[in-house]
Amino acid sequence: MDAHAAVDVVVIGGAVMGASAAYWLTRMQPGLSVMVVEADPSFARASTALSVASIRQQFTTAVNVDISRFGIGFIRNFRESLGVEVGIASLGLKENGYLFVTGSVGGAALMAEVAAMQRAHGAATEVLTPDGIAARFPWLEVGDLVAGSFGPRDEGWFDNMGLLGGFRAAAKVQGALFVSDRVVGLKVAGGRIMGVELAGQGLVPCGAAINAAGTRAVEVMRMAGLDLPVEPRKRTVFVIDAPNARHPDGPLLVDAGFYLRPEDRHWITATVPEADGPCDANDFEPDLHLFDEVIWPQLYARAPGFDAVRVIRHWVGHYAYNTLDQNAILGPHPALPNLFLMNGFSGHGLQQSPAVGRGIAEQVLTGGWQTLDLSDLSVDRVVAGRPFRERAVV
Ligand SMILES: Cc1cc2nc3c(=O)[nH]c(=O)nc-3n(C[C@H](O)[C@H](O)[C@H](O)COP(=O)(O)OP(=O)(O)OC[C@H]3O[C@@H](n4cnc5c(N)ncnc54)[C@H](O)[C@@H]3O)c2cc1C
């Protein structure tokens, strides 16, 4: 096979993170050659396609609030934000808010502290008493609760595949090349990535590479002899019909043992499995018992309208779970400064993709964070084993 022409940047993985990085790179530097390599352009097993597709401001670390402040504006005004006409009028944001509830005094104190930080960063989080929760959502049982925190604006859910499709289409218009192939190796010399080896097309020499391989990020790192504390964790999501509980304006409720949100006339719900741990990246067997045995009893106790419930659909997706601190891992790797990571999103990456793609593009093009300082989420902390924990992981 003839030697491949060199490209400026190879992006490994073309779902929402890879597509966002390619979009921002080609927007910031027209003429830059960017190749996005995606092993499965159907995205059948990509977290992006299997996401619950929601955005919130209620994070416990300020940097994640800042990332979502940018994300909500970008998502709300997607067409204008992209700046390129790609035929996607809107991502259909449903701004119903998130409601976190707690039954402990300690939990309520933490909620108040975190809500103050979120408001200082521009969020609208309100801490509610049980009566306040009942006044707003009379279908919820609040007798066991101490407090709740609610985001009356800038939180809700949207079209995940529209976000991905928009980034891809705009990046293509701006000159990015999307190829269907699998990355099988990295060529490293003198402490730098020299090229990316594709199963079909062979070696592509490059100036920089971006790891946007989702749950398979570790496989990419191992191609360079490096490791990363990121593993696939299975989440089974249920779509349920509850004829006695029709509340299309309901929030995304995060309760102690499950979460729930409306989806048209139905609801989406999920929980963390009892024995949560790494799964095989090819294991998409649903944990069906989780609905009857874990979710439903708690759901019925919280909202008696869920007395008659039918599971109408389910799916399995994987979180790319960062075992160190459940936060994103971003930027250049200290051992290979032209390998850039956007990994470990631990279940909250979709909403972060606008800000993270922009940040990674800034790192590649300028060597620093420009618009938003994402250094709290740097690769360095992970290599040093210094956790920067996000506690609001759903
Ligand atoms: C059930 C569930 C619910 C979620 N809910 C939310 C939510 O409400 N809000 C939110 O913000 N986030 C949510 N997330 C998380 C969010 O979906 C992810 O963080 C985000 O989609 C990650 O995008 P990604 O591009 O990094 O990874 P992925 O979407 O997994 O994409 C990685 C891509 O890399 C490709 N790839 C891997 N290895 C190679 C290789 N060697 N060569 C070429 N290509 C390769 C894969 O084929 C894949 O397409 C949820 C996730 C799940 C599973």
Are 379 and 329 contacting, i.e. CB atoms less than 8 angstroms apart? yes
Asked if 37 contacts 10 with a C-beta cutoff of 8 angstroms, the reply is yes
The 10s digit of each residue's pLDDT in 201-254 is 999 999 999 999 999 999 999 999 999 999 999 999 999 999 999 999 999 999
Q: Tell me, what's the pLDDT at 316?
A: 98
Q: Is 340 helix (H, G, I), strand (E, B) or coil?
A: strand
Do 7-74+160-229+325-383 and 98-155+234-319 fold alike per CATH?
no
Question: What is the pLDDT confidence band of residue 324, given thresholds at 50, 70 and 90?
Answer: very high
Q: Place domain 98-155+234-319 in its CATH homologous superfamily.
A: D-Amino Acid Oxidase, subunit A, domain 2 (3.30.9.10)
pLDDT of residue 251: 98
Tell me the pTM.
0.98
Residue 314 neighbours by CB distance under 10 Å: 16
- Fold of the domain spanning 7-74+160-229+325-383: FAD/NAD(P)-binding domain (3.50.50)
Half-sphere exposure of 160 (CA within 13 A, CB side): 19
- CA gap 387, 131 in Å, rounded: 37
| Beta carbon of 57 within 6 Å of any ligand 1 atom | no
Closest atom of ligand 1 to CA, residue 237: 1
- Mean pLDDT, the chain, whole residue set: 97
Residue 259 C-alpha to ligand 1 middle, in angstroms? 20
**How far apart are alpha carbons 299 and 302 in whole angstroms?**
5
User: How sure is the predictor about 2, in pLDDT bands with cuts at 50, 70 and 90?
Assistant: low
Mean pLDDT of 120-127: 98
Radius of gyration of the chain (CA): 21
Q: Is 47 in the pocket of ligand 1 (CB under 6 A)?
A: yes
**Under 8 Å between Cβ of 261 and 251:** yes
Asked whether the predicted pLDDT for residue 3 surpasses 80, the reply is: no
- Cα of 147 vs centre of ligand 1, distance in Å, is 33
The values of phi and psi at residue 271, to 5°, are -145, 175
Taking only the tens place, the pLDDT of each residue in 265-294 is 999 999 999 999 999 999 999 999 999 999
Whole-number percent of the chain with pLDDT over 70: 99
Ligand 1 atom showing the smallest separation from residue 350 Cα:
11
Q: Are 167 and 118 in contact (CB under 8 A)?
A: no
Ligand 1 and 216: CB distance under 6 A: yes
**Cβ(356) to ligand 1 under 6 A?**
no
Q: Is 25 strand, coil or helix?
A: helix
Q: Is the pLDDT of residue 192 over 60?
A: yes
- Average pLDDT in the 177-181 region? 98
User: Mean pLDDT, to the nearest integer, of 124-133?
Assistant: 98
pLDDT, tens digit, 9 for 90 and up, residues 346-373: 999 999 999 999 999 999 999 999 999 9
pLDDT value, residue 28: 98
Distance in angstroms (rounded) separating the CA atoms of residues 318 and 84: 31
What percent of the chain shows pLDDT beyond 90? Answer: 98
Contact 199, 113 (CB under 8 A): no
The amino acid present at 294, given as its one-letter code, is V
pLDDT, mean of residues 46-64: 98
Instruction: State yes or no: pLDDT of 374 exceeds 70.
Output: yes
Domain ranges of the chain: 7-74+160-229+325-383, 98-155+234-319
Does ligand 1 lie within 6 Å of residue 221's CB atom?
Answer: no
How close is the Cα of 162 to the center of ligand 1, in Å?
14
187 token code pair:
């060529």
When pLDDT is averaged across residues 31-38 and rounded to a whole number, the result is 98
Residue 295 contacts residue 235 (beta carbons within 8 Å)? no
HSE-CB at 324 with a 13 A cutoff on CA atoms is 22
